[in-house]
Structure 1
């Protein structure tokens, strides 16, 4: 199994970065995982801004040569892992910009004329590892689970990725946030997952 980790946080001293390290460590300790590639969107200088004009059309985004290496990463991966904080109830704008550019029609899905398109990333699985300041049940009761609906239904299932696992950790700025326990939970998952 080949794992692509998409990390989205500007600070390498952050708790999100600590979760990234556990994902990498667990993956390296797992005999089912043969390769791990990390895309650090901030360190990469990824440009999340969409530009459409007379030279760049939305319908051509799936073939934009500037995004070729990122498309290759997504096609290469069996499992796509997103590591990010939840800000304002959703992933950071940087990650949303990556999603806008990369999960384009003609690459991640194609229109069929029916109610839903055909997902072109079938057979892959995904994991979302996210942290937030508020309590863990805040998104469920206050935001109607908007974050999970966005990532699972509006994005991943739309492009054909049916198996989606969430690690959504709350109270992460509290000294009682049980950080080590949560970090170890992520490590255990990645050190044992078989698909």
Structure 2
């Protein structure tokens, strides 16, 4: 197996260690370590960064050391595993704010005169792991997994990250018995570096 550089982005905004996303992120990181991969973990709940509030601010270079370090970590990685709970049918606001800070022009893409933007994160791959209170099949069938599709098309593909996979975990609060099997599944994904 090829050793990979992996980044785990724990996108749960609540620092409470009891949140299932945190356990999943830890399990993936533990699996990656067991598989001989290099792994770095970014926990959004532990970061302090401002919101982007204007186009001018977004198009400029960030002066925030937290965001610069996250960009360096993402640039270093070959594969990103991004975990988040589904909130109001979408990513939590803190994760969206983080992505707006990190995926800036100049780092994640570059404008080009008369052409589509250059995708600066080509060669990276990603997996989204999304937890939710509703059944995952219902989220796929009724809602079309819209937040996942938007994330993949409007963020990951736009900056050149592909291929990507996703794993939807439904009924996470009601299915406590399944949590152990999900933690094992995530561990194995980390071990394989995918």
Q: What corresponds to 2:5 in structure 1?
A: 2
Matched, 1:27 2:25: no
Residue-pair matches, total: 186
Asked if the contact 1:126/1:164 (under 8 Å) is kept, the reply is: yes
Cα separation, 2, equivalents of 1:136 and 1:110: 36
TM superposition shift of 1:154 = 0.9
Structure 1 residue runs of 4+, over 4 Å off? none
Q: What corresponds to 1:50 in structure 2?
A: 52
Cα separation, 2, equivalents of 1:29 and 1:21: 12
Q: What corresponds to 1:165 in structure 2?
A: 165
Task: Give the TM-score of the pair, scaled to structure 2.
Answer: 0.88
Q: What corresponds to 1:78 in structure 2?
A: 78
TM superposition shift of 1:176 = 6.0
Write out per-residue CA displacement over residues 79-106 of structure 1, whole angstroms, 9 at most, x where no aligned residue. 1111211111111110000111111122
Alpha-carbon RMSD across the aligned residues, in angstroms, is: 1.8
Q: Specify which of 62, 65, 88 is matched with residue 64 of structure 1.
A: 62
Distance 1:45-1:177 versus aligned 2 partners, 3 A rule: farther
The within-5 A match list for 1:37-186 is 37-47=40-50, 49-52=51-54, 57-60=57-60, 63-66=61-64, 67-112=67-112, 113-114=114-115, 116-175=116-175, 178-186=178-186
Cα separation, 1, equivalents of 2:92 and 2:133: 14
Query: Structure 2 stretches of 5 or more lacking a match?
Result: none
Cα separation, 2, equivalents of 1:93 and 1:106: 23
Asked if the contact 1:139/1:147 (under 8 Å) is kept, the reply is: no
TM superposition shift of 1:177 = 5.8
Matched, 1:16 2:60: no
Query: Structure 1 stretches of 5 or more lacking a match?
Result: none
Distance 1:122-1:13 versus aligned 2 partners, 3 A rule: same
